[in-house]
Chains A and B, each alone.
Chain A
């Protein structure tokens, strides 16, 4: 299975949200990272077929999305960023309704709703009104509905927002396991979520791909750009104004800082092992502050 995005462009009035975005997706998890307004949600909406691009094509196995029409949406599972729920619906009623709109027969849907409720840890509250759900429960119900039609393409916009650490682990494990033969596109602000399960990371900024590659590739690209230094507490304010700090930790009266910089930023700074977060901050803070993209 191959999902091709060919020069996707989306313009809102005078604002260009996506600049000729091209990418080929094959089964596996893709992590989409970028600051607010980078175009992540627009891109996901285009792939989920809820937003028509101004230009470009989305093709599945060589066929245009518009040509496939219902056949395309039938294999897509989508969790929107701001999914709300009808407060008067129970979780079960909501899932059954979505299942019906996805074309599942009642009996099949009933079984699947039970399965997915168990997987998303919602079995206990399936017959509770959605109005009483916590943020995390709503998110899990959103994940469950996205999986109802056994989607080959799963699009998850901020899926872990509002989930506690245990729920995030469950979610990651679930996505890791179901991604064997599916394309999973995951947008998140929590870098570690993408770091752990994505086979490919796409850094998106101002509607363009800023950088992409495996986590190892991106980390390797940061070699020599991440530094660690121990400073007196008093210097911290001045340093944090001058340099891009990715972490600050208190160490016996001093502070240990992690710095992203192209060259050695301070006397006594030593090279540190890069992580994905460093790469994110390098592009979206260090380079952005210098106007380099």
Chain B
């Protein structure tokens, strides 16, 4: 057999090759039976090494230099508030109203309905906020320019205000203005602040959103069991307003103290080390 002239680009340089057909068939069969050697483990690395030399066009990796811009407090607030978990806040409000509806038909005196449900909007909001823990976004958020502790405090404050306004409006609706309203407000604000303190402390410790959610569900349930006791009801209804005001101050102190602890945890990176269980 003779290779066709003119079919190769190396025409003129190619040596003449004469192989009989039988011999060629034998070679092809032999080649077919030969085991093909597998590339060894370093093959991929060698190929990568070769490719590594190919540079991306310069303009492709050009990352425009930015100047450091000052961030006003208003801008920061806008950024933080633009991504509030409104869905969770709305859910909190729905559960709050459903809770009221359910309890108002039950044996619990009217004065103790708000103390049981008052923390629900805050708890739902904080659960939405803590999704970042569960979603693995927390560590990134902590490294960004806006100080994370500031970010968290703004979110806590917004949730606190949301909860406060919801409860104030509801207590107005129930009791109107005056001394009755004040007593009612003292009655719900104390457990509300205590639960908020516990919720904040849990939020920096428990990484798993489901576990956090369960513990948050447990808090109003525990307060329902507490306020459901007749002896507790009688004791609380008999308390003078000055003692309730003292209880309010203690609860407020507890809230401030837990905020300080939570802030310290956040600053030290303690949230990263929280339990997953």
Contacts and interface: CB of A to CB of B under 8 A. Distances in A.
Interface stretch (A28-36, A45-53, A55-63, A229-237): A45-53
Contact of B61 (A12, A70, A100, A177): A177
Residue with the greatest number of chain A CB neighbours at <10 A, chosen from B54, B56, B62, B145: B145
A85 B134 CA distance: 10
Nearest to B131: A86
A52 B268 contact: yes
Interface stretch (A167-175, A207-215, A281-289): A167-175
A170 B79 CA distance: 33
Residue with the greatest number of chain B CB neighbours at <10 A, chosen from A49, A69, A87, A145: A49
A254 to B, nearest CB: 14
Interface in B79-110: 79, 82-83
Contact of B135 (A86, A105, A174): A86
A116 interface: yes
B63 A115 contact: yes
B45 interface: yes
A103 B68 contact: yes
Interface in A63-117: 69-71, 73-74, 76, 78, 80, 82-87, 97-98, 100-105, 108, 111-112, 115-116
Interface string B33-66: 0000000111011011101101110101111111
Interface residues of B, number: 48
A132 interface: no
Contacts of A111: 64
Contacts of A270: none
Contacts of A78: 139-140, 143
A188 interface: no
Contacts, number: 132
B48 A173 contact: no
Nearest to A157: B139
B165 interface: no
B55 A177 contact: yes
B205 to A, nearest CB: 15
B244 interface: no
Interface string B120-162: 0000000000010011110111111111100100000000000
Residue with the greatest number of chain B CB neighbours at <10 A, chosen from A82, A86, A103, A196: A103
Contacts of B136: 80, 82-85
A291 interface: no
Contacts of A168: 48
A192 B144 contact: no
A178 B147 contact: no
A249 B143 contact: no
Contact of B68 (A71, A80, A97, A98): A71
B257 interface: no
A101 B145 contact: yes
Contacts of A76: 143
Contacts of B64: 108, 111-112, 115, 150
Contacts of A247: 41-42
Contacts of A48: 143
A103 B140 contact: no
Nearest to A70: B145
A48 B48 CA distance: 30
A45 B269 contact: yes
A51 B268 contact: yes
Given A50-B272, A165-B48, A74 B140 contact: no
Contacts of B44: 165
Interface of B: 40-42, 44-45, 47-49, 51-52, 54-56, 58, 60-66, 68-69, 71, 79, 82-83, 131, 134-137, 139-148, 151, 267-269, 272-273
The 3 closest A-B pairs by CB, nearest first: A84-B136, A51-B269, A50-B142
